[in-house]
A and B are shown apart, each in its own frame.
Chain A
Amino acid sequence: MGNLPILTLMTFLPLAGALLVMLIHSATGGRGQSGKLVLATGILVSAATFAVSVAAFVAFDPNTAGYQLVEQHAWYGPISYKLGIDGLSLSLVVLTTFLTPICLLASWNSIEKRMTEYVIAFLVLETFMIGVFVALDLVLFYVFFEAGLIPMFLIVGIWGGKDRVYAAFKFFLYTLIGSLLMLVAMVYMILAAGSADVEVLETYSFAPGIQTWLWLAFAASFAVKLPMWPVHTWLPDAHVQAPTAGSVILAGVLLKMGGYGFLRFSLPMFPDASALFQPFMFALAVIAIVYTSLVAWRQTDMKKLIAYSSVAHMGFVTLGIFAFNETGVQGAIFQMLSHGLISGALFLIVGVVYDRMHTREIAAYGGLVNRMPIYASFFMLFTMANVGLPGTSGFVGEILTMVGGFQAATWAAAGAALGVIFSAVYMLTLYRRTVFGEITNPELNGIKDMNLVEWICIAPLAVLTLLFGIAPNLIFNLTDGSTARILSMMARGQ
């Protein structure tokens, strides 16, 4: 690989693809027929990006804890263009590049209008998402972090459901406040440390009093993203309104930016403040798990139910991160990846029947197993993965974050464990109402089982959910170096 700037290539390949799509669009005169061609191009570009990320994976040495494949160019004063990966960011990057082609493919039959713009939005979004995870400069990170919202707004706002404007507005308002606070904190940090380089900031010791403010400002942004209770209410609306692929990417990748932010910035740079806020974060995590699980149970809209379930599952991430121990942090990283696969798959599962029936109301379904046995099987698999059945990846993340949490605060682990009961309640109820029973809605009589495109989208997620459930060490071997490194920086403050 030598001097090939593999990270830059990986980050900007989708952006280049977006330009290509534009060219194709104008070359074909923007007529309707170009839709599938454009989409196919998008899929190929994102698949190529995935291939590059695999190359980065191959070039990555899991036995080295620090950042690798680093590219650095001076940019402006203390700001530089600096990219690099460790196990944490690499695993999230591969998750992103893996999910994006699936999202585009899942749009094959479901997106009808403005295909070119849609594909462009997704490819641009992919660049920004990868950028977030590989940026090793505060400003660069901020640019990617914020810019990523724009294509996401567009995806929800243009291709979304009938209340898309309200949803996008909510998303905007929450995120804006968090971002502004984070920006202010970043300015202060760069001025104080004289550098925006993440590696420099990791070694810089902010005074404990200052740390508290900086931590709060960063947390405002990351908590909204994760999302944590009580700043989670944008998520159900955004999910419900977003098209299927938008929900997949939102749940699969965008939420992970919050967890990533805590691990990359809050813990290493503000160790004292992180320790100070540990009980607070535990409380919010437990509330998120119990509260949103109960709310999920009361939902009548399939997507809303899964969205609330996402909030609950991200509560485990918070719990694990703020346990400040190896089991907790490894579990949190694993839970992020696992949730990316499982919730992505669940949104695809909902999308399958939405495309056929154009309703997300649970009450409109029932008895699907009689017509769609293969669909029912996949749905069962992901239901069980979502309730954390051992043997699926969902279990590994939940048990490790709870084991980690138990070491820090028994009450937090016990509270989180309640979520394990409730998740069974809402998921099994959902499954039973939609899939089991007799067909009562006559419109369901002619419903078809999963088609080839849906197979191709969902089957890989199923395979990985099981693979990581049975052999999670594949991930842990990748992330243990960065976990140890983050924890050692965390320990420096105490």
Chain B
Amino acid sequence: MLPDSFLIYIVLAPGLAALTGLFHKWIGDRVVMAITTGVVMSAGALSLYQLFAYVAGLASGAAPEHHAGFDAYLTAGTDVASVQLKQHIITLMPWIHVGDFQANWAIRVDTLSIVMMAVITGVSGLVHLYSWGYMSEDPHKARFFSYLSLFTFMMLMLVVADNFIQLFFGWEGVGLASYLLIGFWYTKKAPNDASIKAFVTNRVGDFGLALGIMAVFFVFRSVEFGPVLEAIRTNAIVTPMAFAEALPARESVIVFFGERVYALELIGVLLFIGAMGKSAQFFLHVWLPDAMEGPTPVSALIHAATMVTAGVYLVCLLAPIYEYTFFASGMVALVGAVTALYAATVGMAQNDIKRVIAYSTCSQLGYMFFAAGIGAYEAAMFHLFTHAFFKALLFLGAGSVIHGMHHEQDMRRMGGLAKFMPLTYAAMMIGTIAIIGLGIPHTKLGFSGFFSKDAILESSFAGAMAGVSFAEVAFWFGLLAAFLTSFYSWRLIYMTFHGPAPHAAHDHHGADDHAHADDHHGHDHAHTPHESPAVMLIPLALLSLGAIFAGFYFYDAFVDGQNEAFWAGAIYRDAANHVLHDRHDVPEWVLWAPLVVTVGGFLIATFTYFFNRGVGARVAASGGPLHALFSNKWYFDEIYQATLVRGSAFLGNIFWRADRKIIDGIGPDGMAKLAGLGSRGLSRMHSGYLYHYAFVIIGAAIVFGAVLWLRSGGAN
């Protein structure tokens, strides 16, 4: 679509812009901010143009295989199934070339990366802009903007990779940026703890991802997506590296820990463990709520719209693997469904505004995963796409609230904010209506969440009818989660924007420590909530447009009539996989069920938090076991602390003692005692041991020489 030079600009320029942060002492904060924001926003404009132009090209009625824009720039891949993969790869330079292990620095352009580029740079550009207001009083603005751009660069490298290794580079790179940004306020304890927790939990996932990549190389003798996915698509015969026989790719086996297992199953499970870490899925989700210690624009960009969706992107990109697995795809569906429900239950019982949205993110990611797990990859990507708009909107709206409330995050101290910040209120309402997926079945009237979430739920039901494993569980969990989503989202709105205003006697606390923007309001009402400056409201307005219209506008392309032409082979489905299409054949009640539960959640929230504001607090105070379970996040942190962390520390201490007592005790110290070299004797002869050593060497050399001399004929 775009010329190569523009694509290279989109991917690399944010990385270079990030480097300007190193020179902020000389060029000043403002210059760093202007460069990073300008670069990322221009990249965003280009990427969005590319996406819109592409979709417009589809709509112009060109034949699916010959839509104008694509053929000009994308070279055709090999024939796969029914759809040709259209892909364009720009190789920048070689990276690691060792035998068959060939990884290049490259930019891969296909529909998946076009969509991801638009999401990443679009949201990132707005977050950069928003941060001008939000971070205006922070003393480390240059560092902040530099990290944001670094993140953008790493995320782009992840989605444009043409091989597993560059993907891993971006994968860990976004982890680094996330670590740096969560711990941005590095003098405080909580952000430091949270940043380490995030990095280490992600590393647990990366353990799986790395092993998965090793298994891929083992089986396919390549780490490039092209040949690997091609082999699976065509079911080519592959010969793994060692001790396994040549078999068709989909039936290939591998011996792992002494067990013969299907290679694709193993690869699928291992890679998904990586995705679970990055996308905060059940078991590895514990870092995401704590990540809210970072500045709010970071939460919007990294921990809502982009980085955490990398796992979903990975599963969709590697659809050929998950299409031909049973356990791995079942695991994706089950873990996704459980996460969708689990996170929603916890989200109901949180009082920190950012944590509610964080659990909401976790839950929505669960939807994306179970969609992918049952084979509706397009629906997963569609939800990823629409979710980026409304979740970034909700986070930035929450940031605006926190900003206006002078860094208060506890919703129990909020209330009645609607009249103080009407524009933020409007934005949050739009975000809420979008996330609960309000819309009328059979029509195209609805906010963006309606289109994507209902596509997922209907596909799951279609999958259940077709007997796809865990599809039925996914449907019911998803439906229940939709009910809870509606409840906690409205609870947030009511607690924050409605009711009486308890903030008259306000004291400063909460983790968001940005200094307040005094230039936007006078000191006289420093303790009164206020609306945010325009630089923060403009991103809210633009994201609101996306939250309203993105679903409607892109529905056809992503999941409906034009989806094959749109994806152009970038998402692979087996010829027998019809879940996405079959969602049109589900019973009528399935279409209405989401609307019913959503309205139900809304009504309950309205009764408990709007008309009778005390009810929610009383339920919480009554201390029921269920509430305790939810508000304590099912005690995951406590369990992990008691087992994994304590266990490792215990082992570490044991090993360290073993080093000193056993190894040294038997080894050098023991020998020293045996030889009668007590510590006193040792210190007396501390200049002597060198002579001993030299003596041994020289003596040995003499003996050695003598033996040689004798053997080679001696004096003869």
Contact = CB atoms under 8 A, between A and B. Distances in A.
A326 B672 contact: no
Interface stretch (A42-50, A169-177, A263-271, A342-350): A169-177
B476 interface: no
A487 to B, nearest CB: 10
Interface stretch (A85-93, A94-102, A402-410): A402-410
Contacts of B214: 402-403, 406, 413
B716 interface: no
Nearest to A470: B95
B686 A180 contact: no
Given A153-B690, A327-B99, A424 B700 contact: no
B709 A330 contact: no
Interface stretch (A6-14, A28-36, A292-300, A450-458): A292-300
B644 to A, nearest CB: 10
Given A190-B708, A436-B192, A471-B95, A180 B200 contact: no
Given A180-B696, A406-B215, A414-B211, A473 B204 contact: no
B465 interface: no
A331 B96 CA distance: 10
Nearest to B143: A373
Interface residues of B, number: 77
Given A169-B668, A170-B668, A406-B218, A391 B712 contact: no
Contact of A437 (B172, B189, B255, B668): B189
Contacts of B105: 470
B611 interface: no
A396 B98 CA distance: 11
Interface SS of chain A: helix
B694 A150 contact: yes
Nearest to A164: B686
Contact of B98 (A402, A411, A476): A476
A432 B254 CA distance: 41
A432 B93 contact: no
A417 B192 contact: no
A230 B183 contact: no
B521 to A, nearest CB: 30
Interface string B179-198: 10001001101001001100
A384 B187 contact: no
A275 interface: no
The 9 closest A-B pairs by CB, nearest first: A294-B652, A390-B169, A406-B214, A326-B99, A298-B652, A165-B686, A436-B186, A407-B241, A424-B203
A150 B693 CA distance: 9
Given A183-B704, A437-B192, 11 more contacts: A77-B712, A157-B686, A173-B667, A294-B648, A297-B652, A396-B96, A406-B218, A417-B210, A424-B199, A424-B200, A428-B195
Contact of B659 (A174, A183, A295): A295
Contact of A425 (B187, B200, B682, B712): B200
A472 interface: yes
Contacts of A410: 254-257
Contacts of A435: 186
Given A233-B659, A410-B255, A428 B196 contact: yes
14 contacts: A154-B690, A169-B682, A170-B668, A370-B187, A389-B173, A390-B168, A395-B169, A403-B101, A417-B211, A418-B207, A424-B203, A425-B196, A432-B196, A476-B97
A236 to B, nearest CB: 8
A233 B652 contact: no
A291 B98 CA distance: 30
Given A169-B668, A169-B672, A327-B98, A191 B689 contact: no
A165 B683 contact: yes
A463 interface: no
B72 interface: no
Given A176-B693, A436-B183, A421 B200 contact: yes
Nearest to A426: B652
A115 interface: no
A420 interface: yes
B557 to A, nearest CB: 33
A262 B664 CA distance: 25
Interface of A: 76-79, 146-147, 149-150, 153-154, 157, 165-166, 168-170, 172-174, 176, 179-180, 183, 187, 190-191, 230-231, 233-234, 291-292, 294-295, 297-299, 325-327, 330-331, 367, 369-370, 377, 384, 389-391, 395-396, 399-400, 402-403, 406-408, 410-411, 413-414, 417-418, 420-422, 424-425, 428-429, 432, 435-438, 470-473, 476, 480
A414 B105 CA distance: 27
A183 B700 contact: yes
Interface in B345-360: none
A403 B217 contact: yes
Contacts of B258: 411
Contacts of A146: 697
A219 B649 CA distance: 32
A78 B712 contact: yes
A437 B652 contact: no
Contacts of A411: 257-258
Contacts of A325: 241
Contacts of B655: 291-292, 294-295
B576 interface: no
A26 to B, nearest CB: 23
Given A190-B708, A400-B96, A180 B211 contact: no
B656 interface: yes
B165 interface: yes
A316 to B, nearest CB: 13
Given A298-B652, A399-B165, A233 B95 contact: no
B466 interface: no
Nearest to A77: B712
Nearest to B704: A187
A77 B709 contact: yes
A377 B24 CA distance: 14
Contacts of B168: 390, 399
Given A370-B187, A413-B214, A437-B192, A172 B693 contact: yes
A433 to B, nearest CB: 9
Contacts of B97: 473, 476
Contacts of B254: 410
Which of B648, B656, B686, B704 counts the most A-chain CB atoms under 10 A from its CB?
A: B656
Given A153-B690, A169-B682, A410-B256, A233 B668 contact: yes
B598 to A, nearest CB: 40
Contacts of B200: 421, 424-425, 428
A217 B331 CA distance: 50
Q: Which of A180, A187, A367, A370 has the most CB of B within 10 A?
A: A187
Contact of B176 (A154, A191, A384, A472): A384
Given A326-B98, A402-B214, A472-B96, A191 B708 contact: yes
A298 B656 contact: yes
Given A183-B704, A428-B200, A472-B95, A295 B668 contact: no
B207 A417 contact: yes
A425 to B, nearest CB: 6
A180 B683 contact: no
Interface string B655-687: 110011001100110011000000100110010
Nearest to B664: A233
A187 B707 contact: yes
B653 interface: yes
Contacts of A406: 211, 214-215, 217-218
Contacts of B204: 421
B618 interface: no
A420 B203 contact: yes
B667 A233 contact: yes
A398 to B, nearest CB: 9
Contact of B210 (A76, A154, A420, A438): A420
A263 to B, nearest CB: 16
Interface string B18-45: 0000100000000000000000000000
A438 B187 contact: yes
